[in-house]
Structure formats: C-alpha cells, structure tokens
C-alpha cells in the first residue's frame, strides 16, 4: 500500500506508532519500524539530552528501518531546555521528528536545514493550517476520541479528518479512535494518507508497561475513559478509574490544579505503569481501547491491520459497489 506518507517517509505501511511519554522507548520504536510502520521514540522520556542520544543509538542498533523522535513542547511543568534536545536529535542524524504541544516554529529552520521531516500533531484545522504555513511536512490531526489531549473543540475524527484533508495540501494523518484495519480504510476514505495509533501500540508485547495495564485495556469498552482537566483548559482523556473520578469531582467543586496535582503526579503514573495497579494513578488511553481485544507483537499487529484493510478494500467494498 503506497500513499504520500509512505513515499515521503520511506516506510512500508501508512501506519505511525505515535510518540507516548514513558512508553516511546527504543525497543518499542524499533519493533514498530521493523514491522513496517514508523516507530517513534519520545525525547522527554529520557531525563537528559545525553540520555536521548544513547536511546537513539540503541534504536539504531535494533532496526535499519526509518524511525522518528517525538518532541512535545510546553506541556511539562518542569523547566526544559528544548534546544538541547533538538541539538541531540539533529546531531544523531535523525531524519523524522514528530512534534506536539506548542508550535514547532522556533525549531523549524534548524530541522529543515538538516533535512529533517517534521510531523506536527494538532487538534484543530486552524492549527493544522498554521503548521503548513511554517513548513511542516505532515500534519497528524487528533480527533476527540484520542488519548491524552484532544483539545477543547470536541470534534470527532469522522468530521475532523476530512476537514483537515480538504483544507491542507500536505499529507494528513488520522489520529484518535483507530485500532485496526477498519480504521485505516476509513482514514484513507476520508482523505488521509495514513494513521497514527498510540493506545493500540500501547497494548503490544513490546510496550514497556505492566501486563496488568494491558489486560485492563483489553477488557475495557468505549465508555471506560474520562475527560479531566477540562476546567483548566487542558483537557485530557484517561482511563476511568478512581483517580480520574476524584479529579473530576474536585474540578466540579471549583478546585484548582494544585488540589489535584498529587493525584495525577508522574510518580503515581509511574506506579500504575510499572505495577499494573490501574487505580494507582492517571493512565492515558483513548476510546479506541474499546476496540482492542488482544496483546499481539508489533509485527502481528501491523500485519493484521494491513491484511484486514486489504480485505475490506478488495472484497467487502468492491462487492458492495457491484
């Protein structure tokens, strides 16, 4: 299957394993890339730029296929020198970067002068148009169903994906609510050039989180997520557990972020990811968790998605037209 995305990035399938904080390690990125998708490491998973350099080198030792690095700007409370991370990415010869959070405009000149392809994640068509104007190569547009930060517009992918594809000249990647071949075919039909999946790659054998969390996602349905931080204008979609319910109750009572910070701390999230206790902290997952029914390897996942997509396009849709 060839699209503008596969041609631009030199990948075999129009699938991106999106960058996920803590989860986007060299091992997962390499496994996704070896499967024919684009694996993406997360820069800020590493506490220092030097650690990122070592992680990039590890990824390069595990795959000879293209992979990318995610750089999410402005959503972490701690002070970060992003220029140092950009230097590490460029100095290591990485040629694909996924940016998120704030606009990548401050780094675009350096990326473009070093032949780095930039994929920018955004949640609204107006942001996507701005990204195109500053020179990004691909826009990954997040629908309301996505894990993490869906924005404040609440536009689902069925409308947002074609709206973005219609407005932009550069390739658009559909993100949010996609977990299988049906989602890939739908994204292509809506004008996109590929898909970006986070939650689905979270539930693979190579993802570095506890099997207990993976199993809880397998067991969940599409109603098992909750929006929090809405009153702080930083809406996040997470697994609906006791932590999410408590945060929502504090927000409803008018509480400020300081009153919920201890509940959603990185330490609590780490405890959940590493121990398998789904009630220990905030667990980021999208509505597509309701479509996830197994824990495959990355290779099995990508192979099954492509086989299902080809069957849908070549047989089911063809027979419907006939």
For residue 322, pLDDT over 70 is answered with no
Enter the pTM of the model: 0.96
Label residue 319 by pLDDT band (50, 70, 90).
confident
- pLDDT digit string (tens) for 200-238? 999 999 999 999 999 999 999 999 999 999 999 999 999
**Pairwise CA distance, residues 257 & 90, whole Å:** 36
- Measured from the Cβ of residue 31, the count of other Cβ atoms closer than 10 Å reads 25
**Among 11-20, 234-243, 312-321, whose mean pLDDT is lowest?**
312-321
| pLDDT > 70: percent of the chain | 98
**Pairwise CA distance, residues 93 & 200, whole Å:** 28
| pLDDT > 90: percent of the chain | 95
Give 229-232 contacts, CB < 8 A, sequence gap 24+.
229/257, 230/152, 232/256, 232/257
3-state secondary structure 217-266: HHHCCCCCEEEECHHHCCCEEEECCHHHHHHHHHHHCCCCHHHCCCCCCH
For residue 157, the model assigns a pLDDT of 97
Query: What's the rounded mean pLDDT across residues 290-296?
Result: 98
For residue 128, pLDDT over 80 is answered with yes
- Measured from the Cβ of residue 285, the count of other Cβ atoms closer than 10 Å reads 25
Bigger pLDDT: 78 or 185?
185
**Pairwise CA distance, residues 64 & 43, whole Å:** 20
For residue 62, the model assigns a pLDDT of 98
Q: Mean of the per-residue pLDDT values for the chain? A: 96
For residue 93, the model assigns a pLDDT of 97
Q: Comparing C-alpha atoms, which of 89, 87, 17, 82 is closest to residue 55?
A: 89
For residue 32, pLDDT over 80 is answered with yes
State the alpha helices, DSSP H only, in the chain: 4-9, 26-34, 49-62, 82-91, 105-113, 125-133, 157-167, 181-189, 199-202, 211-219, 242-252, 266-275, 298-311, 317-321
For residue 77, pLDDT over 70 is answered with no
Domains delineated in the chain: 4-208 (3.20.20.70), 221-284 (no CATH)
Beta bridge partners of 118: 97
Contact present, 161 and 172 (Cβ < 8 Å): yes
For residue 25, pLDDT over 70 is answered with yes
**Pairwise CA distance, residues 202 & 214, whole Å:** 7
Label residue 290 by pLDDT band (50, 70, 90).
very high
Label residue 76 by pLDDT band (50, 70, 90).
low
For residue 195, pLDDT over 90 is answered with yes
């Amino acid at each position: 299957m060839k699209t503008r995305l596969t041609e631009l990035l030199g990948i075999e399938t129009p699938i991106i394993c999106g960058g996920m904080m803590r989860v986007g390690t060299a091992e997962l990125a390499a496994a996704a890339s070896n499967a024919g998708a684009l694996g993406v490491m997360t820069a800020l998973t590493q506490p220092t730029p030097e650690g990122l350099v070592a992680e990039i080198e590890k990824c390069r030792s595990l795959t000879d296929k293209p992979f990318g690095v995610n750089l999410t700007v402005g959503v972490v409370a701690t002070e970060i020198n992003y220029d140092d991370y950009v230097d590490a990415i460029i100095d290591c010869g990485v040629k694909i970067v996924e940016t998120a959070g704030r606009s990548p405009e401050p780094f675009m000149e350096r990326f473009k002068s070093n032949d780095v392809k930039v994929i920018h994640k955004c949640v609204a068509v107006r942001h996507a148009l701005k990204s195109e104007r500053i020179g990004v190569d691909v826009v990954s547009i997040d629908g309301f169903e996505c894990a993490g930060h869906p924005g404040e517009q609440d536009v689902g992918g069925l409308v947002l994906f074609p709206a973005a594809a219609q407005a932009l000249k550069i390739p658009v990647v559909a993100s949010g609510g996609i977990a299988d071949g049906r989602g890939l075919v739908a994204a292509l039909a809506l004008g996109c050039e590929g898909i970006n999946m986070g939650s689905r790659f979270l539930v693979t054998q190579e993802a570095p989180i506890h099997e207990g969390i993976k199993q809880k996602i397998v067991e969940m349905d599409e109603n098992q997520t909750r929006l929090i931080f809405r009153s702080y204008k930083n809406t996040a979609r997470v697994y609906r557990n006791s932590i999410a319910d408590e945060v929502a109750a504090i927000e409803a009572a008018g509480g400020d972020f300081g009153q919920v910070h201890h509940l959603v701390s990185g330490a609590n999230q780490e405890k959940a990811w590493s121990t398998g206790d789904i009630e220990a902290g905030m667990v980021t997952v999208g509505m597509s968790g309701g479509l996830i029914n197994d824990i495959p390897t990355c290779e099995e996942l990508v192979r099954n998605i492509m086989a299902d997509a080809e069957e849908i396009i070549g047989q089911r849709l063809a027979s419907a037209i006939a």
